[in-house]
């Protein structure tokens, strides 16, 4: 008869059960800690996640970033300035809206320091100088003013000469009547390329100078006054050379909202022709 060895510790089954229970406890604690860390790192609605910048080793620096349209303001005060006062940079004159007085002359005309003949109002002249300098620095382009301010008397002489050459109706289609021309405000310029390509022609829109202006003029407070496809609104054919100073705020708002004409922006009636009797 053999004798049994006295037990000196827990059985193998007990030890195994204790090991399993310990492993489960560790797993539970680990999961709980991981959940706590995840919850603490979870972004809240007020957190801002910074974008990760990427760089292309093959890209080369540019002179200036491509301008992007500004976002429309939540509220733009369209009555902040007069559209009737000829001294206002927001004045709207067209074939239904002559200047008042009809022989208005700006009091602050200066000669803009740019190539070409450029008498303009002081604010418009300063902006024109900045725009021409940017075209040169950013794109290597030389812009020239072909025509800017024209007085009432000059417009009378020009219009009468055209009437004699072309007849009344054709002259009215090609040149504004005295008192109805934007050039009389001192806020407008006809711009051309230094090489003379497509001067006062629709093809100016396809030149490097025309393409740069249509994308950048708003940055300096200028607006393409007679855009393509808007003749029934403005009364004039597409004139990609004709830029009107309206100020930085209005130019940016026109760009941001995609509004092509001042008439549409201010809710004015279309002005395809002069009223009867004019």
> Would you name the residues annotated as active-site residues?
239
**Exposed e or buried b for every residue in 168-191, given b needs 16+ CB within 10 A?**
eeebbeebbbbbbbbbbbbbbbbb
The Cα 228–Cα 226 span in angstroms is 7
Hey, what's the torsion of the CAs at 216, 151, 88, 131, to 10 degrees?
20
Tokens (6 digits) for 154: 């000059």
242, containing H or E segment: strand 242-245
Q: 14 CB contacts (<8 Å, ≥6 apart)? A: none
Q: 57 CB contacts (<8 Å, ≥6 apart)? A: none
For residue 96, give the nearest of 265, 251, 242, 263 by alpha carbon. 263
Query: How many CB atoms lie under 10 A from the CB of residue 64?
Result: 11
Q: 132 CB contacts (<8 Å, ≥6 apart)? A: 114, 115, 143
For residue 149, give the nearest of 126, 119, 122 by alpha carbon. 119
Token pair 């100078």: residue: 209
Contact 211, 159 (CB under 8 A): no
């Amino acid at each position: 008869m053999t004798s049994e060895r006295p037990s000196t510790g827990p059985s193998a089954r007990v030890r195994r059960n204790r090991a399993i229970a310990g492993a489960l406890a560790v797993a539970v604690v680990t999961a709980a800690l991981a959940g706590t860390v995840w919850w603490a790192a979870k972004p809240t609605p007020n957190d801002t996640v910074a974008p990760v910048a990427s760089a292309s080793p093959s890209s080369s620096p540019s002179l200036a970033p491509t301008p992007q349209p500004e976002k429309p303001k939540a509220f733009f005060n369209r009555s902040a300035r007069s559209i009737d006062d000829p001294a206002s940079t927001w004045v709207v004159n067209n074939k239904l809206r002559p200047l008042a007085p009809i022989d208005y002359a700006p009091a602050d005309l200066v000669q803009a320091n740019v190539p070409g003949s450029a008498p303009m109002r002081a604010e418009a002249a300063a902006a024109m100088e900045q725009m021409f300098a940017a075209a040169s620095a950013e794109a290597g382009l030389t812009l020239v003013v072909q025509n800017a301010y024209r007085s009432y008397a000059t417009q009378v002489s020009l219009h009468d000469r055209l009437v004699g050459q072309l007849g009344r109706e054709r002259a009215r289609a090609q040149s504004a009547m005295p008192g109805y021309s934007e050039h009389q405000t001192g806020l407008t310029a006809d711009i051309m390329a230094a090489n003379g390509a497509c001067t006062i022609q629709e093809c100016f829109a396809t030149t490097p100078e025309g393409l740069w202006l249509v994308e950048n003029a708003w940055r300096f407070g200028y607006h393409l006054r007679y855009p393509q496809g808007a003749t029934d609104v403005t009364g004039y054919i597409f004139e990609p050379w004709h830029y009107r100073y309206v100020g930085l705020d209005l130019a940016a708002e026109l760009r941001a909202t995609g509004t092509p004409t001042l008439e549409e922006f201010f809710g004015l009636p279309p002005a395809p022709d002069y009223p009867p009797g004019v």
